[in-house]
Structure 1
Amino acid sequence: MILPKYNWHINSNEYSDEEKEMAHNLNINPLIVSIMFQRGYDTLDKIKSFLNPDINSFHDPFELHDMQKSVDRISLAITNNEKITIYGDYDADGITSTAILYETLQNMGANVNFYIPNRFTDGYGPNSDAYKRIINEGTTLIITVDNGVSGKEQVDLANSMNCDVIITDHHNLPNDLPNAYSIIHARYPNDEYEFGDLSGAGISFKLSTALLGDFPSELLDLVAIGTVADLVSLTDENRAIVKLGLMAIAQTERPGLSALINKAGLKLDNINEESIGFGIAPRLNALGRISDASVGVELLTTFDDDYANELAKETDSKNSQRKKLVSDIYEDAYQKAENLIEDGHKTLFIVGENWHEGVLGIVASRIVEKFNKPTLVLNLNNDTNIAKGSGRSIDGFDIFKALNDNRNNMVSFGGHSMAVGLSVNKDKISSIYEDLDKYADNHHINSMAKPNLNITGCINVKDINQSLFDDINKLAPFGTDNEYPIFKFAHDSVSNITTMGANNNHLKFKLISEYSSINVLAFNNGRYSEAISESFDALDIVGHLVLSTWKGRTSVQIMLDDFSSSGPKINDQRSRVLTKETFLGKGTYVFFNNNILQQVKKYIPNESKCVHIDDLSFDISSDNIIIVDCPSSFEQLKRIFYIKNLKELSLILYKKELISKFGMPNREQCAKIFKFFAKHNGFDLKQNLAELCKFLNIPKKSLFMIIKMFSELDFLHINDWVVYESKQPVKKEISKAPTYQKMSDEISLEKKLILSSKQELSHFIRNEYDKRKDAVK
């Protein structure tokens, strides 16, 4: 049995008349319209708008709170040649936010520079010492991007030094907002923007649009990277940003971005949201995690080819270093997490020493992925007695709210519902952890034990083709709130199960339906190779469709998202002989023939049990039920399938002689035998059996079977081995004889249990088990 990682919620594939009509009007697969309806796009206009975002999809930037006030102040600063400093952030969203506004102000002729805080010396968000340095160096206007709303103290400091602060941010707003000159935020209280899920780069892009008075198409590549990297909702304006931004990246004239894409092993003509999420963004993030994120801004804004290649090489090197650090820390954090779970904690508050603080967010994400518990991973500095790190959450649990009441007990804190950054004094760790666990308990975190997986519907493998893939891809770009559609795939069987990778940690296999097949790729699931082989006929697969190119040939494949198998593990151990070695396994040995039980019971190990089928309890406590011999009827076999919580079923199915070896009696044989006894009334079988079998050319066992059938039908009578013809037999079909019916059933059972292939046997057993299980329910 393979248990799924997620709770599956499968939507129906039934299409309404309205969905079919819209699909016809749009000339697309009804499945796509059904997906749109599931996601709230339930009119033709909504669907058209979603499928075809353009410049008209962008809202007026001046609808954002304080936008006009901010534009006026910046324009005044440019006019007066004031020194403007953009205060950014060290992740990919912060880097692109900074690059967007820096390039905009440069093009407007501003006296502008930028400052990216250092993760290790400045910490997360606004830093008072950094503000002092910036202002003392002549800055009279600070513009924050991708940060600032948590910097009340820093804004007060700037105000006292006669420096205005314009905050542009998208993070959760605190109850007490900074006294900034202006705040541009899509969710500003009582002045919410039409779309509240812009990234930091998105807000920066809106400010640039307002400043320039025209739509800045040249910045779409940067804002798309920041939007995808920050995992914000890919709906509404963000969808337009990424859709158009991907086209801009493919045609980018930025030598730094081109060089970075090349280092990531990507191609400009094949860039999509995954290219950003797994190729570009991690490299930009690595800069801030390992060293100086300012390199990222320079990389994205330089137009010097040689300098761009140099910066791209440095960025890629930092990413390699980041990977090694994550691997080393994860191993240690994993063990600590297991210990906390054993101690009964609802959440994971993991503290280590000598851990690189820049990668703790990634480690936290991987721990969450493994254990599905809200996780904080912090490094304790023994010189300062301050633990600093990051937290990541699970669906349905707002980690920002869970920790926010303890904000005053922390050195620093910020973030949103799914991710936080924090610094905590060593002596406060225990109380904060205790409060976090209580919050989790009060909010019923146990009911969140397994995350939900929304499955769009079911597709049969035989219906998958390039056309379907192309229609699904019209929903791209995919991401938060517009996830790639996940399907359950109907199939007949599984084949070609192989492991891949240096450590055989990946898996590849085929799903087969009628005359069609498709490859399935299952990364980090190599350990399930044997389990899939054993459950090939009971495997439920959910995943999404991807394109794969190998040796110039492109094909649609399935990327596995989850899988499961129901029912017991079935072990095919069929044998024509029983030896002492047959009974080495541990379990409960079940017999249908009592004579065989008595003959071999001395070989059953002491730690195992042996039982006749008639004495079998349905509540038996045994992980492995071992069927030794072959039942003579299906009714006997069915008793096995009523065993509760059947985990493993081993099938030896020994039978000394197969009924099917002799076959069912045919009309010619029956007529020949009946005529003989009609001519030889009172024939003595005991004296003449061998000669009779030779004369009739029929095996002894077959002869006895037919005589018994004739007796049951009252065609013949037998008394002390002497056969007499009935005087007035009633004409009946031989198939009405109980022995004929029993023999027919036994042969049918032999074909299913003994003469079948491994796959056929497993399929038959599992189907019958599922029928009984459903009947019990």
Structure 2
Amino acid sequence: MIESKKRWQLTSPDEQAVQNLQQALSLSSVLAKILVTRGIDTVDKAEEFLSVELSGIHNPFLMKDMDVAVARIQQAIEAEEKILVYGDYDADGVTSTTVMMTVLEDLGANVSFKIPNRFDHGYGPNAELFKEAHAEGVNLIVTVDNGVSGIEPVRLANELGMDVIISDHHDIGDELPEALAIIHPRHPQGNYPFGELAGVGVAFKMAQALYGDIPEHLTELVAIGTIADLVPLHGENRLLVKEGLRALQDSPMPAIAALADVAGVKQRDITEETIGFMFGPRINAIGRLQSADPAVRMFMTDDPSEARSLADGLDVLNKERQAIVKAISEQAIEQVEARYGDQLPHVIIVAQEGWNPGVVGIVASKLTEKFYRPSIVLSLDLANGKAKGSARSIEGFHLYNELAKNRDVLPHFGGHPMAAGMTLAAADVDELRERLNEQAKRSLTAEDLVPVVSIDIPVSLDEVDTETIEGMRQLAPFGMGFAKPKFYLQGVKVAGIRKIGASQAHLKMELAQNSSTLDAVGFGIGELGDQLTPDVKIDVIGDLQINEWNGRKKPQLLVEDIRTDEWQLFDIRGIRQVSRWSKLIPTQNQVYVAFQQETEAVFSSLLDGPIVSAQSLTEQGAVKDHLVLLDLPDSEEQLSSVLKQLKPKRVYAHFYAQESQYFERIPDRDQFKWLFGFVKKRGSFDFKKNGDELSKHKGWSRETLFFMLQVFFELGFVTLNNGITEIAQVPGKRDLSEAPAYQKRERQIALEQKLLYASYRDLKDWFDAQVSAKEEELWI
């Protein structure tokens, strides 16, 4: 039995709706099931979803203040006023800045840009940078991906005689800045049809309004910023990203070719995963460690060599960022394990001086992923008495609302349900830790602390092929709000399994169902290779992919989680080195059982746990998950009784036999007849003195000779006195099988054949019969 590591939430789509989509749109059963599961359950909805046209995006002038912003920018261009694009240091901010710079330069504006430094200026409008812009002669500031929280800096700009146009998508507070125009898809006084644009999406809408047409040449930038900012990929975002991904694959922008080159991907193969895992981290890295200006210059340049040089710089910084994150993550995990051990709190808060505040959000994400707890990672500045950091949460714990209950110790914080940033006094960290844990105990149940995975559809192996998997690209892009599908395979047989990788940390399996097979790979779950037995049936969830090798394509499942309700038999017979199999036995709720008295002496010094004799087992508290059978029982009934009593989920069969009888067999009647005649003819036989000589003469083992004499003695055919054998005075007529020694050897040979020398399949069948009998007894 293997329990899943996550809570599986499985959706079963309406079969009639699935059939309707299959027939009307010629879709595979898998694609139709996914669409229905995602609520796209009619032909009209599916046709609209699958036929994405950029012409379907909304009129930008539906946004409040768009007309005011466009008029002011056009006025500034005509008057040759200096315009400043004020951006942000993440991938969304960088691409937003590039979009706005591109459109303004195309329209002939006198324009420059500034991006605040994360460490010197913090996020959003900064008074010092606005003063600097005024000194440089700027008349108009256009913010991108920031601004709605900049109450005081905007007021300062107004006092200095500069106009400010804000374009942003972040949550709006109780008060709005006194800007000339605020372009925001969720403006409280607006009615724009789609409110979940990224910052670059808002900049794109301004570009659309300024150009008077859809600026298709900017969709590459919109795709990068939108995907990297993790906004929901539905509605207008889906249209923009899908078109942007098409454009990226043959984009003439030198920056795209350079990024693809340093990331080691072909430009024609760019997908949303390329952006999310390769482009986005490199663009974000520079703003986490230094000024993000070079990233904007990379996107703006027409010089391939300059773009490549700047992309190389981003790549170097990303490697540096990865090393910093790795070091801080290791230190943070050490703190958690040292402080709590196995008793994890409801909320994890770690803090240390010297941690780079630019990467603590990534570290918080890693802690939440590893421990599945809301996590806060703080960088301490003890000289100033401050702690600055980031938080990540789990479902059921609304991070922003819970932090808001602690405003007295959290003077500066912001965020949303799943992520937040904050600054507080270092002296208040312990107080915050205590409060949040008390709050979490009231709001989170034990079930909430087990990670959840949503599964789209159950599939059978005969539905899985390369054509179906390639067809799923029709549903892309996948991301926030429209996750990549996860698939559920129920009751598939593990036809082959092995651990792979230099440290054997990964798992490779062949799954089988009826006549179909599927390769499966599980990264980081190599330990399951020691927990899955041949032919066990499992339930597995994961991501279907295509594995291409030497020009051949095969479907493959990337495993996320596994479970099985089947009990399992682990065959460790014949492994003489105890150390080779003892490390496979789970340490919790296990028992080593010995049937023979001498077995304990053989194994006691080789095993960590105590050895229990089968005779001493009691009914009280005897249920065990893991049963190790060290030796052979005296009978099948004895073993069956132990199984019935312990009810194990896993059985490890070692079946050590000090003297195996299976290959000795039972002497035939001619051998018994010859030996009886030999003793009768001699009158007596000294077993101690002449046994070895006789055994050698007949080709018998000494044990075989003694066994036959023992049978004669038990039947009353001979007498035994200190090794001297003589024929009895009046030997009776009895069958050899009546002798207890004969019966015992018959039983032992049969038992060895059934348990010790049987094939794994036959041994499993025997145990299955015992388990089935136990289950039937429960129902009687």
TM-score under structure 2 length normalisation: 0.81
**How far apart in 1 are the matches of 2:427 and 2:294?**
37
Name the residue aligned to 1:517. Answer: 517
CA contact (8 A) 2:53 2:239 kept: yes
Q: Which is worse superposed, 760-769 or 298-307? A: 760-769
1:669-727 Cα shifts (integer Å, max 9, x gaps): xxxxxxxxxxxxxxxxxx99xxxxxxxxxxx99xx9xxxxxxxxxxxxxxx9679xxxx
Name the residue aligned to 1:492. Answer: 493
Name the residue aligned to 2:643. Answer: 640
Name the residue aligned to 1:215. Answer: 214
CA contact (8 A) 1:619 1:644 kept: no
Which consecutive unaligned segments of at least 5 residues does structure 1 have?
A: 663-686, 689-699, 705-719, 724-744
C-alpha deviation, 1:766, in angstroms: 6.8
**How far apart in 2 are the matches of 1:618 and 1:76?**
89
Name the residue aligned to 2:18. Answer: 19
CA contact (8 A) 2:496 2:534 kept: no
Matches within 5 A, 1:146-545: 146-189=145-188, 191-342=190-341, 345-406=345-406, 409-410=409-410, 412-444=412-444, 446-489=446-489, 490-501=491-502, 503-532=503-532, 534=533, 537-545=536-544
1:629 to 629, 632, 648: 632
C-alpha deviation, 1:640, in angstroms: 1.0
Q: Which is worse superposed, 53-62 or 309-318? A: 53-62
Matches within 5 A, 1:683-762: 753-758=755-760, 761=763
CA contact (8 A) 1:102 1:112 kept: yes
C-alpha deviation, 1:351, in angstroms: 1.2
2:621 to 619, 624, 627: 619
CA contact (8 A) 1:7 1:451 kept: yes
1:201-242 Cα shifts (integer Å, max 9, x gaps): 111112211222211110110000011111111112111112
C-alpha deviation, 1:407, in angstroms: 5.2
**How far apart in 1 are the matches of 2:451 and 2:276?**
22
CA contact (8 A) 1:567 1:766 kept: no
CA contact (8 A) 1:187 1:193 kept: yes
Kindly tell me: are residues 366 and 463 of structure 1, through their superposed partners in 2, closer, same or farther at Cα, counting changes over 3 Å?
Answer: same
**How far apart in 2 are the matches of 1:3 and 1:220?**
45
**How far apart in 1 are the matches of 2:582 and 2:333?**
40
1:449-488 Cα shifts (integer Å, max 9, x gaps): 1121112233333442112212333211111121121112
Residue 233 of structure 2: SS of its match in structure 1? coil
Kindly tell me: are residues 406 and 311 of structure 1, through their superposed partners in 2, closer, same or farther at Cα, counting changes over 3 Å?
Answer: same
C-alpha deviation, 1:409, in angstroms: 4.6
Name the residue aligned to 2:136. Answer: 137
CA contact (8 A) 2:64 2:189 kept: no
Name the residue aligned to 2:683. Answer: none
**How far apart in 2 are the matches of 1:419 and 1:195?**
22
Partner AA of 2:256 in structure 1: L
**How far apart in 2 are the matches of 1:582 and 1:256?**
55
Q: Which is worse superposed, 543-552 or 172-181? A: 172-181
Kindly tell me: are residues 631 and 145 of structure 1, through their superposed partners in 2, closer, same or farther at Cα, counting changes over 3 Å?
Answer: farther
**How far apart in 2 are the matches of 1:424 and 1:337?**
21
C-alpha deviation, 1:127, in angstroms: 1.9
Kindly tell me: are residues 129 and 425 of structure 1, through their superposed partners in 2, closer, same or farther at Cα, counting changes over 3 Å?
Answer: farther
Matched, 1:59 2:58: yes
C-alpha deviation, 1:10, in angstroms: 2.2
Q: Which is worse superposed, 608-617 or 169-178? A: 608-617
**How far apart in 1 are the matches of 2:615 and 2:400?**
59
Name the residue aligned to 1:652. Answer: 655
**How far apart in 2 are the matches of 1:428 and 1:615?**
55
Kindly tell me: are residues 194 and 644 of structure 1, through their superposed partners in 2, closer, same or farther at Cα, counting changes over 3 Å?
Answer: farther
C-alpha deviation, 1:288, in angstroms: 0.5
Partner AA of 2:100 in structure 1: L
Name the residue aligned to 1:109. Answer: 108
**How far apart in 1 are the matches of 2:366 and 2:529?**
23
Kindly tell me: are residues 384 and 568 of structure 1, through their superposed partners in 2, closer, same or farther at Cα, counting changes over 3 Å?
Answer: farther
Name the residue aligned to 2:680. Answer: none
Residue 531 of structure 2: SS of its match in structure 1? helix
Kindly tell me: are residues 136 and 601 of structure 1, through their superposed partners in 2, closer, same or farther at Cα, counting changes over 3 Å?
Answer: closer
**How far apart in 1 are the matches of 2:537 and 2:246?**
43
1:132-181 Cα shifts (integer Å, max 9, x gaps): 22233222322221122222222222222222222222222222332332
**How far apart in 1 are the matches of 2:443 and 2:582?**
52
Name the residue aligned to 2:559. Answer: 560
Q: Once the two structures are aligned, what percentage of the paired residues are identical? A: 33
Partner AA of 1:448 in structure 2: D
Kindly tell me: are residues 767 and 243 of structure 1, through their superposed partners in 2, closer, same or farther at Cα, counting changes over 3 Å?
Answer: farther
CA contact (8 A) 1:567 1:770 kept: no
Q: Which is worse superposed, 1-10 or 581-590? A: 581-590
Partner AA of 1:373 in structure 2: R
Matches within 5 A, 1:659-670: none
Matched, 1:7 2:7: yes
Name the residue aligned to 1:697. Answer: none
How many residue pairs align between the two structures?
A: 707
Residue 231 of structure 1: SS of its match in structure 2? coil
Partner AA of 1:545 in structure 2: L
CA contact (8 A) 2:655 2:756 kept: no
Partner AA of 2:178 in structure 1: N
C-alpha deviation, 1:200, in angstroms: 1.2
**How far apart in 2 are the matches of 1:18 and 1:287?**
48
Residue 459 of structure 2: SS of its match in structure 1? strand
Partner AA of 2:380 in structure 1: L
**How far apart in 2 are the matches of 1:174 and 1:47?**
37
TM-score under structure 1 length normalisation: 0.81
Residue 625 of structure 1: SS of its match in structure 2? strand
Residue 213 of structure 2: SS of its match in structure 1? coil
Q: Which is worse superposed, 182-191 or 631-640? A: 631-640
Kindly tell me: are residues 763 and 351 of structure 1, through their superposed partners in 2, closer, same or farther at Cα, counting changes over 3 Å?
Answer: farther
